[in-house]
Amino acid sequence: MSKSHSINANQLTLLQNAAAYFPAVLADIKAAAHSIYLETYIFAPDATGREVANALIGAGLRGVSVRVLLDGFGSAALPQSWLDELHKAGVQVLWFRRGFMFNWHRHRLRRLHRKLIVIDGEIVLVGGINISDDGSSASQLAPRLDYAVRVQGEQALLVQAQMRHLWDMVRWASLRHRVRGMQHLLVETIRPNLHKKLHWLWRDNVNHRREIERAYLHAIAHAHHEIIIANAYFLPSQKFIRALQHATQRGVRVVLLLQGRVEYRVQHYATHALYEKLLRAQVEIYEYQPSFMHAKVAVIDGYWATVGSSNIDPFSLLLAREANLLVRDSGFARELRGSLLSAISADAQRISSADYANWGWHTQWLSKLSYGLIRMALGLIGVARR
């Protein structure tokens, strides 16, 4: 693990990539004495998934209360035999919106994209890392760039309450008690305090619809020196783009570390459609090259930082359930900033205005077409903003 940061009686440890994350996850699960809550978008039936499943089974057999909430689309490949093993060990598993994802009804597109684990109400792990292998392949020569944070302290109880809240909602929905479930949903009305040293940013479809985007916009609007954003799927609103433009006009350095490899073609090329406007505003754009980048983090003025599951795109900011940790601490922010600058220096290619021009009309046309297709899709499901 990297160094620990003491913030308001909580110990925070930044974990970079699966190589640091899963040893911490497995050790905490194996040490659990009372309870484990786990939420994830992808629980893959691979070697990493097997290790985590075995650890959960061991905890269940020890008498630990284990509750696992899986997204019905992202974890659809998990075989029934694994679920039977978990159930036999006393592990409770629920599904969030199990079924076909590509449906024009907006409520069917809402996904559980959070990656959260709480152990004994004392330890919480939050970030962007799914439970899946992160090895190299023919098209990926290195592990994905991704981050998580391990928090030990009183903050874990707040996260556990949120996770139990969602667990109860899903359980009631599965029993068709939808009215009672909605009444329970409306209980949580806490507004974010963006000046606390530690704050949890939630994105749901009731009381926290815009919380993550608003936190970003607030921090960008008050930036004095530097904004560094690393985001895997970057397709922000026009309001977000204007905020970055205004920051550069104030003399703030704005750095974007984005996906360099094509993972999802339409989304990848749609992001390119924004490059001309961003480059014209003097935003520095870097594309990560060694592997797919999965990070969803940012550092502003070496003091404000966020790590979590939320991309800066319409699907995360308008449709999915997300969770980010906001940290206002120079020590933690400095460590994350150093990691990002190292990745930019060693493994990223800067995109200049000349590079963009040299891509040619066909690539620029494909980018604009992809952007238009996404905007059209969002309009059809009723979430696009003019």
Q: Which residues are catalytic?
A: 113, 115, 120, 294, 296, 301
CB 89: neighbour CB atoms within 10 A? 18
Q: From 16, 7, 17, select the one nearest 337 (Cα to Cα).
A: 16
Q: Which two tokens stand for residue 84?
A: 């039977």
Q: From 220, 221, 233, 241, select the one nearest 306 (Cα to Cα).
A: 220
Q: Determine the Cα–Cα distance for residues 60 and 65; give it in Å rounded to an integer.
A: 6
Element (H, E) at 286: strand 284-288
Cα angle value 3/4/10 (rounded, 5°): 170
Q: Determine the Cα–Cα distance for residues 38 and 153; give it in Å rounded to an integer.
A: 18
Distance (Å) of CA 4 to CA 13, 98, 125, 332: 5, 38, 14, 9
CB 99: neighbour CB atoms within 10 A? 10
Q: From 180, 134, 350, select the one nearest 255 (Cα to Cα).
A: 350
* Residue 287 burial by Cβ neighbours in a 10 Å radius (0-12, 13-18, 19+): buried
Supply the Cα-derived Rg of the chain in whole angstroms: 20
